[in-house]
Chains A and B, each alone.
Chain A
Amino acid sequence: MTELAIRATQLSRHFGDVIAVDNVNLEIPAGEIYGFLGPNGSGKTTIIRMLCGLLTPTVGEVSVLGLDIPAQAETLRRNLGYMTQKFALYDDLTVEENMRFMSRIHGLSRADATARIEELLDRYALSPMRTRFAGAMSGGQRQRLALAVATLHSPTLLFLDEPTSAVDPENRRDFWEKLFDLSDAGTTILVSTHYMDEAERCHHLAILETGHLRNQGTPQELLGQLHNRVVEISADDLRQVKQDALRLPQVQSAAQQGLHLRVLLRHGTADPISYLHTHLKDSTLTLTHTKPSLEDVFVASTDTGTKQ
């Protein structure tokens, strides 16, 4: 058993009548990249805020780096880098001014700060725009700056709330390269995302929906759960087949993808291909097993994607 960076037990948070997070248990190993995958309003931000001590849980206990949160949040904050979902640096300060300001807040000495800022400007390709106002940067550049600032004080733990929401796929790859570098250096990273391709890169994943933890595990484990449960169908009248398929009790979801229909069957369907053959009365059907994707995992784990 590896050392745990974060442990949350029976974590819940209510806002009035709204239950934003409901009885979530988390065990996040140190040194890993741990992903929160979930749609809007699934409670990702709320959980991250509770883990930083910004929000007090309505119920439940949180321990981060061995510290009792929120009671010992002040100690945690010295070892924590946080990239908020909304850009939180100052639009009316330049890249360098923002970095210098935050380095002072974190108590870095002048010399350390200068060296560290140069290093980060270089690493995150921000040197050419060091005198540009943060408000005048593109969304992707701003998120690079936010990551640079979050790592300024070399924290052992990083919370990144949708860090790549404004980054194009190409730059997203670069961004993740940086995360892997940080991870290799021993930093524990908790990252929230909507993107499947990002989720796939995480060491561990938690799938959230409407405040519930629906599933968790390594991407391989999660994909393994769907072994034999995804079937690709081609037929002449896909629309009709889809309607018929959705009526079957063992079919969890069916979605058209190009010329194919991708069907996800419920857990415990003995032989999906023959099941579909028997129940879908269409002579033009071709059925093949196909490799599950994280999207299938997401659909299988949540109610959102089911039966549409």
Chain B
Amino acid sequence: MSSLRRVGAITAKEFKQLSRDRVTFGMIVMIPLMQLILFGYAISTTVRHIPVAVVDNSGSAAARVIAEQVRVTQVVDIVGNYNTAAEAETAIVAGAVRAALVLPENLTQRAAGGEPVGQWLVDGSDTMVSSALLGLRTMPLHLEAGVPQGAYQGATPSFEVALFFNPERRSEVNIVPGLTAIILTMTLVLFTAVALVRERERGNMELLITTPIHPLELMVGKLVPYIFVGLVQVTIILGLGHLVFSVPFQGQVLGLTAVTLPFIAASLALGLLFSTLAETQMQAMQMTFFIVMPSILLSGFMFPFDAMPQPAQYIAEILPATHYMRLIRAVFLRGADAAQLLPDILWLLGFTVVMLAIATKRFRKSLD
């Protein structure tokens, strides 16, 4: 009996403490709510709206008909037109489009012979994307005159497909570089999120803020060691991915570093901001969790970014992991130049500056 009473007393106390810790309380409600909404949005096994380009070398009416029929499948969105296949390939490497449909000069003759009327050049690194595009290979086409009976009705291929970068369609090729974005988000945000809170909890802060140190000095000083932590982690993940999972490395170490450093900085700055918001280390951890889950679900790590509905994409664009996901896959798998990826890099740098500025502004050298 008395044991039950003691249990009751403890339970009541925990509830009381919990209800007084407003951040934890909020998280208890917000986390399932947010994850459910995000999950619901993001999970979509039918991949749609993949951005692609068309290279029309024939200039024929048939080419326009084919492009239109491809568009109405909704599997792809035609976002660009290029004059040559080489230009389209550059766009694929830069990540502007995931695939390009090349329609040859002799389109009309090929159609008359019932041969495949064009070729898809596909970025194969994301296997969900490449599966969807492979599905277009035998899509029915309705062409006007001079086409043999029964051609392009699913039995014979309408298009040829050339898979770039991951012809065996192994999913680890896409997952390993993406994993760096997730793991770095998780560890770096967490490390810095608890950094200031810990000093406050242990009583170090009261002395530290009674010295001439500037908040920005404190912030940057806290951040620098973790830049190295981040670089070590990237090296481990990509090194093992390359050696153990045979993920091909197409890029250069310099380019890899150039895209990784801004992401590390962005994650650390976000962590520091959490550090100024949280009152306990526990709260800092919960805030980290708050950013890690959407990063896993929405960054393009689990589901192709282009296939997500618009609202989910807007949320995803806020997350540093989304931008790094694009960058690391482009550099590592497609050998893209850092210069081709400037928008994402600049976005990460801007994010870093804004977060640091807010964190520094929020941090007061006082105990009020």
Contacts and interface: CB of A to CB of B under 8 A. Distances in A.
Answer yes or no: do A and B interact: yes
A84 B212 contact: no
Contact of B204 (A74, A89, A106): A89
Given A49-B367, A70-B366, A54 B204 contact: no
Given A55-B368, A56-B366, A88 B212 contact: no
Interface stretch (A4-12, A28-36, A75-83): A75-83
Contact of A106 (B203, B206, B211, B368): B211
B210 A52 contact: yes
Given A84-B206, A84-B207, A88-B204, A105 B366 contact: no
Contact of A74 (B203, B207, B212, B368): B212
A301 to B, nearest CB: 29
B203 A86 contact: yes
B210 A107 contact: no
Interface string A129-167: 000000000000000000000000000000000000000
B62 to A, nearest CB: 74
A102 interface: yes
A175 interface: no
Contact of A87 (B203, B212, B365): B203
B208 interface: yes
Contacts of B204: 88-90
Contacts of A80: 210
A88 B208 CA distance: 8
B209 A54 contact: yes
A53 interface: yes
A105 B213 contact: yes
Contact of B206 (A74, A88, A102): A88
Contacts of A106: 211-212
B210 A102 contact: no
A105 B213 CA distance: 6
Nearest to B207: A88
Contacts of B207: 82, 84, 88-89
A296 B1 CA distance: 52
Interface residues of A, number: 24
A77 B202 CA distance: 21
B212 A78 contact: yes
B119 to A, nearest CB: 62
Contacts of A89: 204, 207
A53 B212 contact: no
A26 B206 CA distance: 23
Contacts of A56: 366, 368
Contacts of A88: 203-208
Contact of B208 (A53, A70, A91, A105): A105
Contacts of A55: 366-368
Nearest to B206: A84
Nearest to B217: A105
Contacts of A53: 366
Contacts of A84: 203, 206-207
Interface string B337-368: 00000000000000000000000000001111
B346 to A, nearest CB: 34
Interface string B180-223: 00000000000000000000001111111111110000000000
A82 B210 CA distance: 7
A181 B154 CA distance: 98
B367 A54 contact: yes
A141 B308 CA distance: 62
B210 A54 contact: yes
A263 to B, nearest CB: 43
Nearest to B203: A86
Nearest to B366: A54
A90 B202 CA distance: 9
A49 B210 CA distance: 10
Contacts of B365: 54, 73-74
A156 to B, nearest CB: 14
Contacts of B209: 54
A77 B367 contact: no
A70 B367 CA distance: 12
A91 B209 CA distance: 18
Contacts of A70: 366
Contacts of A54: 206, 209-210, 365-367
Interface string B124-138: 000000000000000
A53 B367 CA distance: 9
A102 B366 contact: no
A55 B209 CA distance: 12
13 contacts: A52-B210, A54-B206, A55-B368, A56-B366, A70-B366, A74-B365, A82-B210, A86-B203, A88-B205, A88-B208, A90-B204, A106-B212, A107-B212
Q: When A and B form their complex, which 10 residue pairs have the shortest distance between CB atoms, in order from nearest?
A: A88-B207, A86-B203, A82-B210, A54-B367, A105-B211, A84-B206, A77-B212, A88-B203, A78-B212, A56-B368
Given A54-B365, A56-B366, A73-B365, 10 more contacts: A53-B366, A74-B212, A77-B211, A78-B212, A80-B210, A89-B204, A89-B207, A91-B202, A102-B211, A105-B212
